[in-house]
A and B are shown apart, each in its own frame.
Chain A
Amino acid sequence: MTLNFEHRSAAHCEAGVVSNLLNFYGIQLSEPMIFGIGAGLYFINMPFVPFKGNMSKFSFRTLPGGIFVHAMKNLQVKVSMKKRFFNEEKAMKEVDNLLAQGIPVGNGVGLYFLPYTPIRIHFNAHHLCVVGKEGYEYTISDPTVSTIQKLSYDTLKKVRFSKGMFAPKGKMYWVKEKPSSSPDLHTAIMNGLKTTCKNMIGTPIFAIGIRGIVSLSRQIRKLEARYGEQDALIFLATLLQSMEEFGTGGAGFRFLYSAFLYETAEILNKPEFKDFATEMNNIGDLWRQFALECGRKFKKRNEESYDQLADRLLEISAKEKEFFVALRKYIKTACKK
């Protein structure tokens, strides 16, 4: 049995899954809209996590599952979520029961054992949607791939219970009640914007938001003295990978966010958001230039010094601070309903 589920591919896995789930229930919102409403933009540089062989030291988004929770809360859709299972068979049985009722189920999975991707990294914050079952084969919709795929029972079990950092432990989520097809988009978008502004400039912790970018630039200045030449380059490569490669849509989600602001301008009829979108795009360009210089440093072509790289980050942090302060001010004054 396979549900009548429209598969659309996306740049970011979790926002793509949520967008597809809502599309199944008749709410048509694009991927960047979900990303913005779910307040996905974030920055954290975790100082206590070792960077070698670890993709989770730098993060440009909120914790896995955060986009789903925030987006559904802001759109007032009633959902259920089971965070962990202790029994693997029971976890699979629960998916079967929901599928039999005609409900597509979102799942948190690990990337390493998925057969259709060439990537072999122990990265546990991937998401996909189970949409059907025939015998021992599941039909799944993974937004990072262009078509619907099939997985056997054993593979799905292995993937859902993959081990390592941020292990998914069989996490699953689904929509409990059929939502109304026209949600209150104004408050939803405003709530999402407010949360993002609060995350980026209102957190009094040195590792998070704009302060995180400043602290990262401080760290890069001392990089070579602290870790030695080879490890410093690996540090930069890890930063580059988490910024550009893993389903961010480029420049650490900045382009995705600017697309969200652009669509917001059209939905709410407020052309000022288009200016914000262009500015976010320019900030994204700066991030991309920084990534390019990191890559050149790693490949040893026309390299810049570590001080110059740190200065680039300081420039980015100053511009982002200006941007988010202006955005918060604009929301407070002009966007009252």
Chain B
Amino acid sequence: MRLIIKESNSNNEGQQLYLHYDGKEWVEKWEKKVIAFSMEMENHLQEIEPIRNQVLAGQLSPLAYHIEAKIFNIKLLSSYTGISKRHIKKHLIPKNFNQLDEETLKKYAATLGISVEELKTV
């Protein structure tokens, strides 16, 4: 990986604008990035805890939680699955979600990257 780092203003002549980083240092940097993003993800999951509680109370369907957890929204999910936005909004209600057939569930699960059984639980 090439990183651009400005040297402290020593000499203007022969100023090194580019430094090469590979091998060990690169791996360390990449690991740090992975850790940062996983921490961000944990924060995000904590933030959407109220939605999870709503699902457990029976006010929303599990689909509503998984959309938030996977950083999707209704518009994107509609364009990936081909199901209209109006229908997806309907499926956020538990009563309608429980009546869904296997095919539609599979479409949702494949797009969100989880199995059908995970989609049904929270």
Find out whether the CB atom of A256 lies under 8 angstroms from the CB atom of B4: yes
A255-B6, A259-B4 given; A163·B79 CB < 8 A? yes
Also in contact, A250 and B37, with CB within 8 A (given A121-B71, A122-B76, A146-B26): no
Give the interface of A toward B (CB within 8 A).
9-11, 31-32, 53, 113, 118-122, 144, 146, 163-164, 249-250, 255-256, 258-259, 262, 274, 277-278, 281, 284-285
CB pair A9–B71 under 8 Å, yes or no, is no
- A122 to B79 CA separation, bound complex (whole angstroms): 13
Number of interface residues of B (CB under 8 A): 25
Query: Could you name 22 residue pairs across A and B whose Cβ atoms are closer than 8 Å?
Result: A11-B2, A31-B2, A53-B73, A113-B113, A118-B33, A120-B41, A121-B71, A122-B71, A122-B76, A146-B1, A146-B30, A163-B79, A164-B76, A249-B3, A258-B17, A259-B18, A262-B15, A274-B12, A277-B17, A281-B15, A284-B6, A285-B6
| Residue B38 at the chain A interface, CB threshold 8 Å | yes
B34 sits at the interface (CB 8 A): yes
Digitize B73-99: 1 where CB-to-A-CB distance is under 8 Å, 0 elsewhere.
Answer: 100100110000000000000000000
Provide the residues of chain A in CB contact with B80, threshold 8 Å. 163
Which residues on B sit within 8 Å (CB–CB) of A164? 76, 79
When A and B form their complex, which 8 residue pairs have the shortest distance between CB atoms, in order from nearest?
A163-B79, A255-B4, A118-B37, A259-B17, A118-B34, A249-B4, A9-B1, A146-B26
Chain A residues with Cβ below 8 Å from B27 are 146
Shortest B28–chain A CB gap in Å is: 12
Chain B hits for A11, CB < 8 A: 1-4
CA distance A226 to B114 in the complex (A): 40
Whole-angstrom CA separation of A297 from B38 in the bound complex: 23
Given contacts A250-B3, A255-B4, A281-B17, 8 further A-B contacts (CB under 8 A): A9-B1, A9-B2, A53-B73, A118-B34, A249-B3, A255-B17, A259-B18, A278-B15
Give chain A residues whose Cβ lies under 8 Å from the Cβ of B30: 146
Please tell me if B49 contacts chain A, counting CB pairs below 8 Å: no
Does A10 lie within 8 Å of B2, measured CB to CB?
yes
Is residue B22 contacting chain A, with contact meaning CB distance below 8 A? yes
**Minimum CB–CB distance for B16 against chain A, Å:** 10
Q: Which residue of A lies closest to B113 (CB)?
A: A113
Q: Which residues of A contact B17 (CB under 8 A)?
A: 255, 258-259, 262, 277, 281
Residues of A within 8 A of B71 (CB): 120-122
Most chain A CB within 10 A, of B12, B17, B71, B76, is at B17
Q: How far is the CA of A113 from the CA of B73 in the complex (A)?
A: 15
Q: Nearest residue in A to B79 (C-beta to C-beta)?
A: A163
- In chain B, positions 14-72 with a C-beta closer than 8 Å to chain A are 15, 17-18, 22, 26-27, 30, 33-34, 37-38, 41, 70-71
State how many angstroms separate the Cβ of A225 from the closest Cβ of chain B: 26
Is A163 a contact partner of B76 (Cβ separation < 8 A)?
A: yes
Chain B minimum-CB-distance residue to A53: B73
Interfacial chain A residues near B2, Cβ < 8 Å: 9-11, 31, 249
Closest Cβ of chain B to A82, distance in Å, is: 21
